[in-house]
Amino acid sequence: MASSVASFVFFSLILAYLVEASNPEAAFVKKTISSHKIVIFSKSYCPYCRRAKAVFKELKQSPHVVELDERDDGQDIQDALSKIVGRRTVPQVFINGKHIGGSDDTIDAHESGELAKLLGISVESNDDL
């Protein structure tokens, strides 16, 4: 029994390696997400992407931004990203490896205070008491 479990684990690892090796864009997406606190997959001309980036600027945070339209492999990265998150749109925002979503999701998370919590920062309230 232990031998068959070990064999299963071994073959699963080999399969995972082969999938990664055959899809370097998926490997790039996963490595980028795991290597940076904040990641935004974006397109430089996209107004929704600019809105998401503005949220982090307001919070004085510096995200790692991947401008897909400025890369030769941008289309392939977007294809891989869509398979990972189930959406083809940009921006796609990640914090500490967690998928936040797009522009509206990021703004909602900011307004609810969830974004600050995920980032481990405190944000001053602008509400008049």
* Confidence at residue 123, expressed as pLDDT on a 0 to 100 scale: 73
Dihedral pair phi/psi, residue 22, rounded to 5°: -85, -10
Could you read off the pLDDT of 45-60 as tens digits, one per residue? 999 999 999 999 999 9
How far apart CA 14 and CA 72 sit, in angstroms, is 29
Superfamily of domain 24-119: Glutaredoxin (3.40.30.10)
- Specify whether the CB–CB gap between 103 and 91 falls below 8 A: yes
The pLDDT tens digits of the residues spanning 72-120 come to 999 999 999 999 999 999 999 999 999 999 999 999 999 999 999 999 9
pTM: 0.80
Q: Domain map of the chain by residue range? A: 24-119
